[in-house]
Structure 1
Amino acid sequence: MAEWDLSQRIIPYLDRHLAFPLLAYLTETGLFPAEEVQAAQYELARKTNMVDYAVNLFESVYPGKEIPAEFNEKRKEALLTNERLQQDAQAVLHVIENPDVAQALRQDKNQNLQYLKENYNVNLEQITALYNFGQFQYTVGNYSGATDYLYHFRILSTDADLNTSAHWGKLSSDILIGKWDVALEELNSLRDAIDSRSTPLPASASAADPAALGQLHARTWWLHWSLFIYFNHDQGRTLLLETFLSPTYLNTIQTSCPWILRYLVVSSILSRKAPSPSSRVRHSIREIVKIVQMEEYQYTDPVTTFLKELYVEFDFEAAQKALTEAEKVVANDFFLDNFGDEFMDNARYLISEAYCRIHQRIDIGCVIWLGMQLWDGF
C-alpha cells in the first residue's frame, strides 16, 4: 500500500504543524519504516519552538547519543521571547477585552484604530504585537492561544499581508484543536479572500503571469488544508463536492494536484445516500467519472480505477478487484480511514445499481451470484 500513500505529495502543501498528524498516522500504519518516519518528524520539529517534543524525537531517532546543547539554548530563548511578547501584547489585550471598548468597536477598522488611539493611546505597533505573540504561540504548539491572539489581531489590523498570514495561522490552529465549525467558517472566508484577491484573468492570460501563479498556488494550498475539515465536519463530504467541482477549483486540481481526485471520488461515493443532497451532489458521480477518465494520464489509483471500471468499461469483475484494493487504500489514508465501512457499503450499492441499470432483463441467478461475489469477496 505504500505506493498509494499520498503523504509525500500532500505534506509539501501543508504548514509543518499540520504535517505532524500525518506523520504520526504513518507510524501507526507501518507503511514505511518507523525510523524513517521518526526522522522526518524530528526534522520538522527541530525547526519549531516545541523544544521538548523535538528532544523526545531526537532520543528516539538517535538513541544513546548526547542531546545537543543547542536545545537548552533554544529553550531559554523561547522562554524569554514568550515573556517579552506576552508583555507587549498584554497592553492592547487589556484594552480590547474591556466590555466598553468591545461595544464601541465598529466594522470600519480605520475608525476603530482612531478610537483606540484617541481614547487609550493604542497604536499600530501594539496591535502588531498581538500578531507576533499569536504567531509565537503557534510555533510552541499552543494552538488555542494562537487562535485567540490572531483573532483579535485580525479584528483591528489594516495590514493586508499580516492579515493574510494571520488568517492561515488561525485556520491551522482551529484545525489542530479540532474546532471544526469554526474552522469551516475560516476556510470559507479564506477561500473568498483568495478568489477576490485579483480580478478574473482572461483565458488568454500567460501561465507565467505572477498574479495567476500566486492565486493558483494559494488555491492549491487551500485545497490540501481543506481536507482536514471536509473529512471531519458532519457536512464535509457534500461541501467538498460542491467546492471541488466548481470550475475554479476543479481547474486547480487538474493543473496542480490531480491526486486530490481520490478525495473527490470517495466523497461522491460517500454522499450517494446523503440526506437531501443538492442536484450537484446527486449527479456528481457522472461528472467525476468523466474527470477521472480525462485525468487518467496524470493520476490513477485503485479508488479512481474502481469508478472507471464500473462506469466506463462496465467490467464488474474488474470493478470488484479494484474495489478490493481500494478498500486497503482507504484504510491506510489519513483522511479516509474512518469512512472505510461506509465507503464499502456505498460502493457495493453502486455495483448493484449499475448492474441492474444496464440489464433490461435480470436473471435472478445472476443477481444472487453478484451478491455473493460482492459480500463474500470482501
Structure 2
Amino acid sequence: MVAADKNASQDIYGRIVGQLDRHLVLPLLDFLESRDKYSHDDVLQAKVDLLGNGKTNMVTFVESLKRELEGKGDDQEVDGHQEFRKQEQEVVKTLNELQAEAQGVMNIISTPEVVAALRQDKLHNLAYLKESHGLTLEQIELLYKFGQLQYSIGQYGGASDYLYHFRVLSTDSKLVLSAMWGKLAADILEGSWDAALEELNGLRDHIDQRGSNGPGGPLVALQQRTWWLHWSLFVYYNHPNGRELLLESWLNQNYLNTIQTAAPWLLRYLVAAVVISRKSTLRSAGPASSGNSARSREAVRDVIRALGQEQYQYHDSVTEFLRKLYSEVDFEGAREEMSRCDTAELDDDFFLQEFKAEFVENARYLVSEAYCKIHHRIDIGELSDRLGLSREEGERWIVDLVRDARLDAKIDLKENIVQMNHADTPVYQSVIEKSRGLLFRSQAMASAIEVRAAGGVVDRDSQRVGGRATGGQKRTGGQGGPRGGQQKKSDGPSQQEGDAPTSAEA
C-alpha cells in the first residue's frame, strides 16, 4: 500500500514511466532535478542510460551528456568516442538516403492535383497513386521509415508530419497504429496540444474499434488502453480544456475498468480532474442544468466507488481527500488531506504542480458545500477553521459559496452563523432514479443472456456496470506534457506484450 505522505508524488513516477516512450521521460527527469529530488550528475547519468547504447539515435546529444558528466571540454574525447563516431556516420548516411527517397514521395502527394484527387477511401487512393504516379506501397512506407528515424534523433516536428501522411495513405494496420503512437508522442514533445488532442482521440477510436476481439485479444486491448491513459496525461494536463475532457474519456467504463485493473495510481489524476473541474462538472446551476448535474453526480459516485475498491492498492492525499469527504463524511480528515496537498504534495507532481492553487480553492469549495448540505445552522468561525481560513476570509468565502452554489441560506454576520434551508427530496424522485438503474441493469442482463443462448461470448467491456454506460460511447480527450518510460529498441514497429510503444513505433 502506498501511504498518503509527502513521497506519494515521487513514488508514482516509477509506475508511470514504464508505460511511456523513453523520449517522453526527458522532461520528467528535468522536473525532478528542478525539485532537487536528484543531483545533476544523477540526472545526467539517467539520461545517458535512457537514450544511449543504441536505444535511440540521439548520438550527438548523448555524447554531450557524457562529456558534461565526465567534466571534459569540447576538444576532449569521451569514453566510447569511436563508437559514437561510427554510429553517427551510420545515422547520417541512413538519414540522407531516406530523406531523398521520402521527399520524392512527399513532392507527389502534396501537389494540388493529387490532393484534389484523394478520397476517404484508402484503396482508391493507393490505386490512383499507382496508376497516375507510379507510387507503390513500398515507396509510401518510406514515409514511415523516415518519420521513425526523425523521431529517434529528436526531430519531432518533421517526424509528426511524415507519420501523418503515412497514416493517411497506408492500409497496413500494424504500421498505421505504430505511426499513430509516434505522431502522438511527437506532437506532445513539440507542445502542439491541439494536434496532440486530435491524435489522442483518433488513437482511442482505433483502440476501441479493435476492442477485445482484435489481434492479441483482451490482454492486448488492456495494454493499449493502459498506455493510452498514461500518454493522455500529457495532453489533458496541458490543453486548456484538458481536465474536463479527461473526465469525459476516463469515466467511460472501459477505461475506468482499465485504471482499476492495471493502473490504480491514475486515480490520483482522475480525482484531481474532478476537483479542478468542479465548476463545470459538479455544480448544479438550476433547472436548465439538471441533466448535466445528474450525470455529474453519477460520475462522482463512480469515482468514489473506485477509490473505495482500490484503496488497498493505492491511495495518497489527493485520493483520500475526496474519499474522506464523500465516503466517510470526515471533514477533519478531508481538511488534513487538503492541507497536505497545499504544502508539498502537488508541488512535487509534474502534472499537477501548475494546478495547485486551483485544486486547493476548489477543494475548499467542495468541503464547504458538503458541510452546508448536511447542517441547518453553521458557525462561520468553525467552518473557517475547517477550511484553514481566517475569520474575514471565511466570511467572504461563505458569501461567495451561497451566491455561486445558489444555496437557500440566510447569513447572519452579527451572530456569525449561516441558517440553511434544506428542501426535502421528493420520494417519487428517488423511486424514479432507482427504477432507472434497475432498468439499465436488466437490459444488460437480458442482452447477455441472449448472446449466451445463441452460443456467443459476452463482451464484458460493452456491458453496463453500476448503471453506467460502457463500451460504445465515444469521448474526447485533452492535452498535456511529455514523459517517457521503458521501451524496446527503435529497430521495428512490432509491439510485444508488456512493452509500451517505443520510439521505433514512432
1:145 corresponds to which of 148, 151, 158:
158
Instruction: Report whether the alignment pairs 1:287 with 2:302.
Output: yes
Opposite residue 239 of structure 1, the aligned amino acid is L
Q: Percent identity?
A: 48
Aligned partner of 2:57 in structure 1 is 49
Instruction: Report whether the alignment pairs 1:329 with 2:342.
Output: no
Instruction: Report whether the alignment pairs 1:221 with 2:227.
Output: yes
Matches within 5 A, 1:1-378: 1-5=6-10, 6-46=12-52, 47-64=55-72, 66-69=78-81, 70-198=83-211, 210-274=216-280, 278-279=292-293, 280-281=295-296, 283-327=298-342, 328-373=344-389
Equivalent pair of 2:160/2:182 in contact (CA under 8 Å) = yes
Q: How far is the alpha carbon of 1:22 from its aligned partner?
A: 1.1
State the distance in 2 between where 1:187 and 1:308 align. Answer: 30
- Alignment deviations for residues 109-164 of structure 1 (CA, whole Å, 9 cap, x no partner): 11111111111111111101111001001011111100110111112111111111
Opposite residue 89 of structure 2, the aligned amino acid is K
Between 117-126 and 321-330, the greater mean CA deviation after superposition:
321-330
Between 323-332 and 253-262, the greater mean CA deviation after superposition:
323-332
State the distance in 2 between where 1:237 and 1:39 align. Answer: 34
State the distance in 2 between where 1:106 and 1:269 align. Answer: 44
Between 54-63 and 155-164, the greater mean CA deviation after superposition:
54-63
Equivalent pair of 1:2/1:32 in contact (CA under 8 Å) = no
Gaps in structure 1 of 5+ consecutive residues: 202-208
Equivalent pair of 1:220/1:257 in contact (CA under 8 Å) = yes
State the distance in 1 between where 2:238 and 2:8 align. Answer: 25
State the distance in 1 between where 2:100 and 2:379 align. Answer: 78
Equivalent pair of 1:306/1:326 in contact (CA under 8 Å) = no
State the distance in 2 between where 1:84 and 1:121 align. Answer: 20
| RMSD of aligned Cα (Å) | 2.3
Q: TM-score if structure 1 supplies the norm length?
A: 0.92
Q: How far is the alpha carbon of 1:263 from its aligned partner?
A: 0.3
Q: Which has the larger radius of gyration?
A: 2
Determine helix, strand or coil for the equivalent of 2:57: coil
Q: How far is the alpha carbon of 1:210 from its aligned partner?
A: 4.0
Q: How far is the alpha carbon of 1:289 from its aligned partner?
A: 1.9
Aligned residues: 370
Q: How far is the alpha carbon of 1:294 from its aligned partner?
A: 1.6
Q: How far is the alpha carbon of 1:165 from its aligned partner?
A: 0.6
Q: How far is the alpha carbon of 1:19 from its aligned partner?
A: 1.4
Q: How far is the alpha carbon of 1:365 from its aligned partner?
A: 3.8
Determine helix, strand or coil for the equivalent of 1:334: coil
State the distance in 1 between where 2:325 and 2:189 align. Answer: 37
Between 86-95 and 364-373, the greater mean CA deviation after superposition:
364-373
Q: TM-score if structure 2 supplies the norm length?
A: 0.69
Equivalent pair of 1:2/1:31 in contact (CA under 8 Å) = no
Change (3 A) 1:152 1:348: same
Q: How far is the alpha carbon of 1:108 from its aligned partner?
A: 1.4
Equivalent pair of 1:320/1:374 in contact (CA under 8 Å) = no
Opposite residue 222 of structure 2, the aligned amino acid is L
Q: How far is the alpha carbon of 1:323 from its aligned partner?
A: 1.4
Q: How far is the alpha carbon of 1:315 from its aligned partner?
A: 2.4
Equivalent pair of 1:4/1:329 in contact (CA under 8 Å) = yes
Gaps in structure 2 of 5+ consecutive residues: 1-5, 394-506
Determine helix, strand or coil for the equivalent of 1:362: strand
Opposite residue 50 of structure 1, the aligned amino acid is M
Q: How far is the alpha carbon of 1:200 from its aligned partner?
A: 6.0
- Alignment deviations for residues 267-306 of structure 1 (CA, whole Å, 9 cap, x no partner): 0000101389944346533332222112101110111111
State the distance in 1 between where 2:121 and 2:273 align. Answer: 40
State the distance in 1 between where 2:265 and 2:390 align. Answer: 27
Q: How far is the alpha carbon of 1:48 from its aligned partner?
A: 1.3
